[in-house]
């Protein structure tokens, strides 16, 4: 139900917004180079996904 803006106290607003937090992303290790990377994504360091090389990264 809609509540007028002036009726909502600063405390009430703060308590509602106390759950506005950002969860840290899941991190796993690359099975090829051991670098930390997101799961189910191509490794940005070596270009491997699982045991296959799907990206050629020259550095
Ligand atoms: Zn890797």
- Please tell me the distance between residue 58's alpha carbon and the centre of ligand 1 in angstroms: 13
pLDDT digits (tens, 9 = 90+) for 4-27: 999 999 999 999 999 999 999 999
pTM, entire model: 0.57
Distance separating alpha carbons of residues 51 and 34, to the nearest angstrom: 12
- Please tell me the distance between residue 57's alpha carbon and the centre of ligand 1 in angstroms: 10
Provide the mean pLDDT of the chain: 92
- Please tell me the distance between residue 9's alpha carbon and the centre of ligand 1 in angstroms: 50
């Amino acid at each position: 139900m809609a509540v007028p803006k002036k009726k909502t106290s600063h405390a009430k607003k703060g308590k509602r917004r106390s759950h506005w937090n950002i969860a840290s992303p899941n991190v796993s290790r690359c099975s090829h180079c051991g670098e930390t990377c997101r799961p189910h994504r191509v490794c940005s360091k070596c270009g491997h996904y699982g045991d296959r090389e799907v990206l050629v990264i020259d550095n």
